[in-house]
Structure 1
Amino acid sequence: MDALTPATTEAGADRTKSLSRRYGAALPPHGPWNETIAGLLDHRSVRDFLPDPVPPGTLETLIAAAQSAASSSNMQLWSAVTVDDPATRRELARIAGDQKHIEQCPLYICWVADLSRNERLGAAEKTELEALPWLETFTVACVDAALAAQNAVVAAESLGLRTVYIGAMRNDPVRVAELLGLPPRAFVVFGLCVGTGNPATRNEVKPRLAQSTVLHRERYAATAESRDRAAYDSEMAAFSARNDMQATTWSQRVLNRMGPLKSMMGRERIRGALARLGFELR
């Protein structure tokens, strides 16, 4: 067998380090590896940004990456709205529970499930879009927006920028729509902060559940779940202690987030809000 070259050895060490940060001791088998995969495994949410603006053309580059994502039947049922106005940012931060990074980040993008554009197309062509008001079409729009945004995140991180999603735009989607001047049948699925992370703030790669919990072969099987959860809770407890997080384990975080209805922060009323935004959801 040929001896491993230094480059091969170094690549293997980098792969092991990346997988260890993501999975702790529950390492999956080594597989193919490249810079793109390494970048994906290095993802972490960042909530403290330097004030430096993003380089010129960055927004347009991120949108080009977003528009290169898959789109169901190429319907392209999403839009993006950037927000620079400090007063609007301040109100969006308030809606999101005073998440100050919304005001701090140099680039803030709201990702919109947008059925309004195709509704206007149908009206212009004098054709009733019978599929428009159905839940399936709304679901496709949300999926399209999520796929597009994730492409933008990968692109941003490849440029050395950091990001964090803001799902709390759904705390009050009607007010968010008013602030952004959205037409009927347009809904902000989430926001996205983009910028240069503050190097003075600790931002670790957050461990994830073992693959034996989330990866099923042929048929769903939860046989490893209890064992994996105990090990993962231990991993997350150590992570939480290092990063001053209140919920020490993953199990406790799930119970806190999904136990009391008040933890939804108004999102339990989202069906009514969607109706007010023009979505029939048959």
Structure 2
Amino acid sequence: MSSTKERLAALLEQRYGAAQPKPENIIWTPQVDAMLSHKSVRTFLPDALPEGALETMVAAAQSASNSSGLHQWSVVAVTDKALKQTLADTVARTVPTDRIPYLEEAPVLLLWVADLSRGAEITREKGAEPVVFDYLDSFLMASVDASLAAQNAAIAAESMGLGIVYMGLMRNAAREVAELINLPPHSFAVFGMVVGKPDSTRASSIRPRPAQPVVLHYNQYDRGRYRDYLDGFEEAFLDFRTTQNMKPRTWQEAVCESATSMDYMGGREHLRETVQQRGFKLK
């Protein structure tokens, strides 16, 4: 086996674990290689982003598909250390921790915004009311577009040797976050993304994913098939947690906790109220 094939085989083993079946017909391209190498980074150097890195990420984000060409998203780049610290302190109060080190360490926090504010203003300037924005699909469409843009930006960042980690925690304090970054009505920070140069002395590992039959269905949803692959994924899941010095628990325990613990919500149980106050009626 060539060194390239060995490296790619090793990459698939990291992504799926030793005990799980792996796809044998991956079409390897540089882009696929980069995406399968993705890992969340939570240890950063304090170095500023390279000149042009942020603009490159935003160009990649703007190249993502977006609904009807309406461009209903924005991104707020938080580079001011004092503001970033205030945001870190704000969301840290919603979880059982005093601080969020990786948010404090990294030079930039990107807040990805579902943004109908431009559309609302343009519509009213033309003498009409944006009544369609009152419906759930408008909020969902803007949130999806923000997510697609952010993922493109993440891939661009990693191609430049940077690391990222998404922060759904920003929704825990959605109202405070919106106020701190002066969001207009009809806009909402869907999530954050911490960006910076990874600290190689504290490197993370690739987190395994379930075998493809757990998520891949052909023509019709095959209910219950995932159960045939749970044991293999649980082994990979436990191995990852062990190597990362995390407390031992199963993936199924994690799923159950996320579905039953209000502590897991961390304030997001009030999200509908906040979103509606920001102008999304969610009819």
Asked if Structure 1 and Structure 2 have the same fold, meaning a TM-score greater than 0.5 normalized by the shorter chain, the answer is yes
**Residues 95 and 168 in structure 1, CA contact (< 8 A), matched pair in contact too:** no
Corresponding position of 1:113? 114
Corresponding position of 2:49? 54
SS in 1 for 2:202: coil
Corresponding position of 2:27? 32
Corresponding position of 2:10? 17
**Residues 241 and 248 in structure 1, CA contact (< 8 A), matched pair in contact too:** no
- Following TM superposition, the consecutive aligned residue runs of length 4 or more in structure 1 with deviations greater than 6 angstroms are none
Task: Report the Cα offset of residue 154 of structure 1.
Answer: 0.2
Please give the alpha-carbon distance, in whole angstroms, between the structure 1 residues aligned to 2:105 and 2:203. Answer: 17
Corresponding position of 1:96? 91
**Residue 131, structure 1, aligned to residue 132, structure 2:** yes
**Residues 163 and 196 in structure 2, CA contact (< 8 A), matched pair in contact too:** yes
**Residues 247 and 253 in structure 1, CA contact (< 8 A), matched pair in contact too:** no
Letter in 1 for 2:222: A
Q: Any unmatched runs of 5+ in structure 2? A: 93-98
**Residues 44 and 198 in structure 2, CA contact (< 8 A), matched pair in contact too:** yes
Please give the alpha-carbon distance, in whole angstroms, between the structure 1 residues aligned to 2:126 and 2:38. Answer: 44
Letter in 1 for 2:75: A
Task: Report the Cα offset of residue 91 of structure 1.
Answer: 2.1
Task: Report the Cα offset of residue 199 of structure 1.
Answer: 0.5
Please give the alpha-carbon distance, in whole angstroms, between the structure 1 residues aligned to 2:125 and 2:248. Answer: 52
Task: Report the Cα offset of residue 77 of structure 1.
Answer: 0.6
Inter-CA distance 247–72: structure 2 relative to 1 (3 Å threshold): farther
Structure with the greater relative contact order (CA < 8 A, sep ≥ 6): 1 or 2?
2
TM (norm. structure 1) is 0.93
Please give the alpha-carbon distance, in whole angstroms, between the structure 2 residues aligned to 1:208 and 1:194. Answer: 23
**Residues 113 and 191 in structure 2, CA contact (< 8 A), matched pair in contact too:** yes
Identity among equivalent pairs (%): 38
Task: Report the Cα offset of residue 247 of structure 1.
Answer: 4.7
Corresponding position of 2:239? 238
Inter-CA distance 247–186: structure 2 relative to 1 (3 Å threshold): farther
Q: How many residues align?
A: 275
Inter-CA distance 222–12: structure 2 relative to 1 (3 Å threshold): farther
**Residues 165 and 192 in structure 1, CA contact (< 8 A), matched pair in contact too:** yes
Letter in 2 for 1:109: L
Corresponding position of 1:140? 141
SS in 2 for 1:96: helix
Task: Report the Cα offset of residue 263 of structure 1.
Answer: 1.3
**Residue 70, structure 1, aligned to residue 65, structure 2:** yes
Corresponding position of 2:96? none
- Given candidates 29, 32, 37, the residue that maps to 1:42 is 37
Q: Any unmatched runs of 5+ in structure 1? A: 1-5
Please give the alpha-carbon distance, in whole angstroms, between the structure 1 residues aligned to 2:275 and 2:131. Answer: 19
State the Cα RMSD in Å: 1.4
Please give the alpha-carbon distance, in whole angstroms, between the structure 2 residues aligned to 1:80 and 1:68. Answer: 14
